[in-house]
Structures are given as C-alpha cells and as structure tokens.
C-alpha cells in the first residue's frame, strides 16, 4: 500500500499543476468589490461601496450598441452565533441599470436605492462611476441591533444580463465588530 501512495503522489502533483491555472483563470474576474465602508447616520447602519473594473471593452461596445446593463447588489447582515448557525438580521437588495441613447448621445442610469429618479449624463466615465458606487445605503435601524453582539455583513454583486460579453462579479465579505 505504501508503494501505491508513493506512485500516486507525483501523479496528483502533476494533475494539480496542470489544472490549477486553468481553474483559477475560469474563476478570475476583472470586477472586484472594494472600498466597503460600514458607518452610521443618525438612525441607521449604512454602507458605502465601489466596484472596480466593472466595464470591459466588450461591455462598453455592447452598451453603445443599445444593450442595457444592470447590476444587483445584495447586502445581508448576520448576527454571529459562536456555536450555532448565524442568524440573518437584515437584508437589502438594490439595482443599477444603464442604457445608452445613441440619438441623444447620453447615458440613462437608474439606481433603485436613490429616490431622485434616473440620472442622465453624456460622459461614459461619469456614467461608469455612477454605476459602480453606492453611498449611504440603509441596512438596518439601530434599534434592531443589540449592544455587545457581533455582526457580519456580506455583500455580493451580480450582473443581471446573461451574455458572454458580460463577466460575473465575485462576492465580498466584510465583518463588523462589536457594536
């Protein structure tokens, strides 16, 4: 039996070295959740975040040809239990949608968490910045949180369009300490 293990180990190492770069390339994505900041306003726990590397050249071409692009942001706050499953304390979902109007040469951006209505900008840089940022998204009122408990915030972004031109976004995780 010891001889079998000695023969399988080098084979396993070779297979791992061949498959690891291929698998990591499949799961690699240019988009990344960054600058996740959890803070409070007077009454609520709020979050700010940014996605970097959202628009590839292929996505920009698809957008300019009239294909709308939309992102969904999912934010879930869990109460951490040391020796049991964590319990969901709150969750919120928000959507960003962008569409290019070639006749007017402008981008229309809808952000579901803002009550101001759609934004219209002419510059792609400004449009991509508006699409990739969330500021002061309300998560939970403070009266629902218990002082001294530990909470964990999980943030995930998803691309809604099902197209090979549009990459999937990875999720991200942020842990909040004791309140």
Q: Between these two residues, 69 and 24, which has the higher pLDDT value?
A: 69
**For residue 166, what pLDDT is reported?**
46
pLDDT tens per residue across span 35-62 = 888 998 889 999 999 988 878 888 888 8
Q: Per-residue pLDDT averaged across 24-31, rounded? A: 46
pLDDT tens per residue across span 107-150 = 999 999 887 889 999 999 999 999 999 988 999 999 999 988 99
Least confident range of 6-10, 67-71, 140-144, 153-157: 6-10
Q: Per-residue pLDDT averaged across 16-40, rounded? A: 59
Task: Domain ranges for the chain, please list them.
Answer: 31-178
Q: Are 45 and 76 in contact (CB under 8 A)?
A: no
If you average pLDDT over every residue of the chain, what do you get? 78
**Residue among 50, 65, 92, 68 nearest 159 (CA):** 68
Q: Between these two residues, 161 and 138, which has the higher pLDDT value?
A: 138
Task: Report the 10 Å Cβ neighbour count for 109.
Answer: 20
**For residue 10, what pLDDT is reported?**
54
**For residue 58, what pLDDT is reported?**
84
**For residue 27, what pLDDT is reported?**
38
Domain 31-178 falls under CATH 2.60.40: yes
Q: Are 70 and 111 in contact (CB under 8 A)?
A: no
State the Cα–Cα distance between residues 79 and 56, nearest whole angstrom.
Answer: 37
**For residue 11, what pLDDT is reported?**
46
**Which pLDDT band, with edges at 50, 70 and 90, does 2 fall under?**
low
Task: Report the 10 Å Cβ neighbour count for 118.
Answer: 13
User: pTM for the whole thing?
Assistant: 0.70
Q: Between these two residues, 73 and 163, which has the higher pLDDT value?
A: 73
> Taking the CA atoms of the chain, what radius of gyration do you get in angstroms?
21
């Amino acid at each position: 039996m010891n001889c079998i293990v000695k023969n399988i180990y080098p084979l396993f190492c070779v297979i791992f070295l061949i498959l690891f770069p291929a698998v990591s390339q499949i799961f690699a994505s240019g988009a990344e959740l960054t600058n996740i900041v959890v803070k409070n306003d007077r009454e609520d726990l709020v979050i700010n975040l940014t996605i970097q590397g959202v628009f590839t050249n292929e996505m920009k071409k698809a957008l300019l040809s009239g294909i709308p692009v939309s992102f969904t942001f999912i934010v879930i706050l869990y109460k951490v239990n040391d020796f049991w499953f964590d319990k969901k304390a709150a969750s919120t979902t928000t959507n960003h949608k962008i569409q290019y109007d070639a006749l007017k040469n402008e981008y229309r951006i809808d952000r579901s968490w803002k009550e101001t209505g759609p934004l219209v900008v002419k510059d792609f840089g400004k449009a991509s910045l508006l699409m990739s940022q969330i500021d002061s998204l309300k998560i939970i009122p403070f009266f629902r949180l218990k002082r001294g408990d530990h909470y964990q915030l999980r943030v995930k972004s998803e691309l809604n369009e099902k197209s090979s031109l549009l990459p999937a976004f990875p999720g991200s995780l942020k842990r909040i300490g004791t309140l």
